[in-house]
Structure 1
Amino acid sequence: MVQECQVCFQVKAMCLDSVKSQDLSNSNSSEFQVSEFILLGFPGIHSWQHWLSLPLALLYLLALSANILILIIINKEATLHQPMYYFLGILAVVDMGLPTTIMPKILAILWFNSKAISFPQCFIQMYAIHCFVAMESGIFVCMAIDRYVAICRPLRYPSIITGSFVVKATLFMALRNSLTTIPIPVFAAQRQYCSKNQIEHCLCSNLGVTSLSCDDDKTVKSIYQLLLAWTLMGSDLGLIILSYALILQSVLKLNSAESASKALSTCTSHLILILFFYTVIIVISITHSAAMTVPLIPVLLNVLHNGIPSALNPIVYALKNKELRQGLYKLLKLDFKGN
């Protein structure tokens, strides 16, 4: 009996120890749940990355000032109160919003070493980036449709592309992009982040954040997020390609080379910006997918993609568009000379 009691006491002690160890492990796992992320900046160049602050700050100021100038010109010039320029004004607003979501935090990291970012701030930034990028893609679609109707259906242009069309198309794109991009930060926020919280990036990119999660379903959710993003951007790119294919087909039917050149010249600036915008997105996606870690090149491309188009768009349009150049010269009180 004594031996049986001793065995019973040993079994009970082992059970108590296992329960205590399980409780301890659970408490440790809850303790290891991180409450913020640390944005390390540009990988591989942490010791001298602060030197990038000057060109990035100048790029941000250029994007803001150039787009504000475009909005002022469109507002002041009565000849620019047309649907094509309304879309350009909306694009200018988007181009101010996109770099504003990332540049202040990047400059804070580079200037003040302010690398910590809370969970809500990180996922809000992630949502804003995807929403603004999708909105820019949507405005490019609207501008492509505008050019298609103007060139392929010129007689019906005043009745189709009206102020009401601009408002409805803009509201549709805003609702579409604000709603369809919600799952990206929501799925990222639902993951478990146990111990790692250092991101080799200077912004809360989707792949950079979710790579730190310790749950088991990261692959499924990553695939879903990528499919969602590519469905959204891919449908826009498909509509743009279709529009310009129809425009090219219509232009080739023109008998006059001068008329064909004039028709294509109105689309040149748009095509330049579209080519740059989508090419960089494709390159970023390929480099992120090909690399196991986040190297410098895709991180730098990601940052520049959110800054360069915003500064480039108004400059290209101002250089290629006679009416905008004329409005700029009037605003600056200079003599306008040009054909």
Structure 2
Amino acid sequence: MAKIGTVNYFLTRGDMKIISVALIIGSLLTYPVTAEANSNSELQAAEHICSDNDCTKELRRLIRLARGGSGDAAAFVAMAYATGDGLEQNHQQALRYLRMGVRQRNAMAVYLMSDWLRNGFVAEQDVAEADRLLQLAVKLNYGPAQYARALQLLQQEQPESLSLAIDLLEQASAQRLASAMLLLGQLKQHGVGMEPDLPGAAELYKRLVLSGQTSARPYLQQITEQLAGDQQHQTLVADLREVDNIEVIRVSGQQLQASNMLEGLVRRLSQSGQYDSRSVGTRIRGLSCEQTGSNCSSTRPERGASSLNEVLTGNQ
């Protein structure tokens, strides 16, 4: 029983789980593992991948691919027009191309349209339609949409929503979505909506750190100390400490990386002819590891209207 003023509050186990969820979400929403840009001014301030590189050739080819039915290309062109990155900023054209992607049922385009409508960016705010499109993006198995829907369910503060939210976080984590992995790790660590699973949480934190998500390192250190007192986990603890000592060094600049990936995206879309890809789990949202030919690593959801740089690199 907790006493506040003259009112007595009897906390059930379900109530305690709700409080735990609220505290975890509150801490993670202010943690720099996600990128959010909900206004035109924020997007203008975002780093442009085409500021020091001429993306004209790639973007013209993406425009042709979008007109030919590529939902991925349509989403990228829409972001370029929305942010003025590589194309002259034009919200009318941004909305036109994004609608092309939505008509193709492209997961990235559907999710992006949902976010624009929710925040009133480029398009007039329409929360009901935003919710409908978010549900569609979830059905299309898009990791950022699964994460966003999981957050909605958790913030309802209803114990019955926990199970569905955790399922969605599991799905998004399987696609290497960093924010989903971090939140799922916290729920496993604290036993919210499930029995405590310290080794499972440790594995998620480990994967995040190894993929270069240094913001997950404090969580890895915390759970390593929790496990250190249990003799049966000594091998795991030694492995986690070794991972914690690894320094991930990035040898290429973010802009150069994004520019190269944009060029690669255009080339692969042109060669494959598979314009409506719906799988997630690479740095190029909407493309599978097999399609990109690159190593897979953790990505971050851009819950606001994303820039090309954020989508291509995970804003790392």
- Scaled by the length of structure 2, the TM-score of the pair is 0.27
TM-score (norm 1): 0.26
- As a proportion of its length, which structure holds more helix? 1
Q: Which has the higher contact order (CA 8 A, sep 6+)?
A: 1
